[in-house]
Structure 1
Amino acid sequence: MVEVSAEHERFRELLGAHLLGGLDGEEQQAFLPHLNRCPICQAEARELAPVVAALAEAAPYGVEETPEPPADLEERTFARIERERSRDRASARRQGLFRRTALAAAAALIVVAGLVLYPRLFAPEVPIEPVGFSEVAPGVEAEAGLIAHAWGTETRLTASGLRDGQTYRVTLLSEDGTQVPSGAFIGTADKPLECNLNAALLRQNVAGLEVRSANGELMLYAELAEDAPSATGAPL
């Protein structure tokens, strides 16, 4: 039986931020040794990996101005539902409260879906700069792309062949050699993984990208051109 300590609970609270690339350098350095030796946190990280991937796909990166749904969307939705309700009112009375409750729930779901999906359906395409890796560890296959934002640089990485359960760190290198953490992920062996990572370094200042294992072994490296594309998105 694994003993759960107060230290474990403290680090466990950082797991979500770690998977989303939200820890700063000091927090990341403190958290990774715990993750490497804690089977409970490793198991939770594997379970949360699909959720993190889904959140990354849902994030509306690169949208300078979020499109607004039609102002009368909610009014038109409820008006149509009311017409249907009036048409079936006689039978609805006989069927009781269940039908009315279900109809109200359906109406709320339609409105929420419209408000959530409308911006995504009309969001502009985000320009992605392809990354060519000059160094790749044996057995590893990877592709990556960069997105220049007003607040920093986003890295979209797809990889396979990285050791299952092993933690890997993604770092952007500035022109003066400064290392800027961009987040971390857990290897999934031959199963392809996809992750989005963020770094507080403007694209025009990025000179390289590297992925290393927890013990510092270089897995991927790319030297990046200086002629970066224009940034997208508004400053946070």
Structure 2
Amino acid sequence: MNEHRELREQLGVYALGHGTADERAAVRAHLDGCAACRAELAALVPLRARLADVDPDRLDEVPAPPPGLGDRVLAGIAAEQATGQARPGRRRWAPAVAAVGIAAAAFGVGWLVRPVPDAPPLEAVAVQVTAPDVAATADVVPHTWGMEVRLHGAGFTAGEVYRVQVTEDDGGTVPAGEFLGVGPAQLDCNLNSSVLREDAIGFQVLDSSGAVVVTSDL
């Protein structure tokens, strides 16, 4: 049970493509015999795409309320009290309620009106599928730190671990992460490589046996 708990705690790291080679091998071996962890990993994999869209430079930003929001909230409270709709027993709570309301409104509206960076440029690429039950499409996104592969598809064997690698212009290959197949369900995952777009000539998706199931020439 202790080993199961320890390996289960590593599923998040594994889903993000991190961990040492020995740690990842231990998780893969555990997944082969644990249906519960395979199901949990399948639920974690789609979150990686959302995390890839997070801008780490903006995590500490505090949303600011729009101008005049506090005055409008206080004016509304004052108008309600003036019409006698506020219950006498609750008037002593009005300042505290107003403060909480202003804080909540400021945070919510500030989050909604925060500046949103432009979406990264997507380059649709052609893919060739060699596995009979797999359907796939892909886009690549150039970054200053490398290249991102956004893979979409269905038919990847449920519970099987697939590896993605990017081929450089000198013929070498660089790992771009792994994902877990979810069977006939729609699969969307973002895979990151340190290879710059201008240095990449293709990428491949390999199954657990090392066979290529999807390939693309860039």
Query: Is TM more than 0.5 here?
Result: yes
Query: What do residues 88-122 of structure 1 show as CA deviations (whole Å, max 9, x unaligned)?
Result: 245445473888777655543433333434346x4
Deviation at residue 153 of structure 1 after TM alignment = 1.2
Q: Secondary structure at the match of 2:118?
A: coil
Write out aligned runs for 1:214-225 (5 A).
Answer: 214-224=208-218
2:200 is the counterpart of 1:200: no
1:106–1:179 distance in 2 versus 1, CA, 3 Å? farther
Write out aligned runs for 1:23-172 (5 A).
Answer: 23=19, 27-56=23-52, 59-60=54-55, 73=65, 76-89=68-81, 91-94=85-88, 96=90, 106-119=101-114, 122-172=116-166
Cα RMSD over matched residues? 3.4
- Distance, in Å, in 1 between the alignment partners of 2:97 and 2:159 is 44
Deviation at residue 196 of structure 1 after TM alignment = 1.4
Larger CA Rg, structure 1 vs 2: 2
Amino acid at match of 1:113: G
Deviation at residue 202 of structure 1 after TM alignment = 1.6
- Distance, in Å, in 2 between the alignment partners of 1:20 and 1:219 is 21
- Distance, in Å, in 1 between the alignment partners of 2:25 and 2:163 is 10
- Distance, in Å, in 1 between the alignment partners of 2:38 and 2:5 is 14
1:115–1:157 distance in 2 versus 1, CA, 3 Å? farther
Query: What do residues 61-110 of structure 1 show as CA deviations (whole Å, max 9, x unaligned)?
Result: 9xx999x9996x35532222222222224544547388877765554343
**What's the counterpart of residue 213 of structure 1?**
207
Deviation at residue 142 of structure 1 after TM alignment = 0.6
Q: In 1, are the aligned partners of 2:129 and 2:135 still within 8 Å (CA)?
A: no
Q: Return 5+ residue gaps in structure 1 as ranges.
A: 225-236
Amino acid at match of 2:14: H
1:92–1:160 distance in 2 versus 1, CA, 3 Å? same
Moved more, 43-52 or 135-144: 43-52
- Distance, in Å, in 1 between the alignment partners of 2:196 and 2:17 is 16
2:2 is the counterpart of 1:5: yes
Moved more, 42-51 or 131-140: 42-51
Deviation at residue 173 of structure 1 after TM alignment = 2.0
1:199–1:14 distance in 2 versus 1, CA, 3 Å? farther
Deviation at residue 147 of structure 1 after TM alignment = 0.6
**What's the counterpart of residue 176 of structure 2?**
182
The alignment of Structure 1 onto Structure 2 pairs a total of residues equal to 214
1:47–1:92 distance in 2 versus 1, CA, 3 Å? farther
Structure showing greater relative contact order (alpha-carbon pairs closer than 8 Å, 6 or more residues apart)? 1
- Distance, in Å, in 1 between the alignment partners of 2:71 and 2:109 is 15
Query: What do residues 122-173 of structure 1 show as CA deviations (whole Å, max 9, x unaligned)?
Result: 4223211112113431121111111111111111111111112222222212
Q: In 1, are the aligned partners of 2:138 and 2:151 still within 8 Å (CA)?
A: yes
Structure 1 vs Structure 2: percent identity of aligned residues?
31
Q: In 1, are the aligned partners of 2:46 and 2:187 still within 8 Å (CA)?
A: no
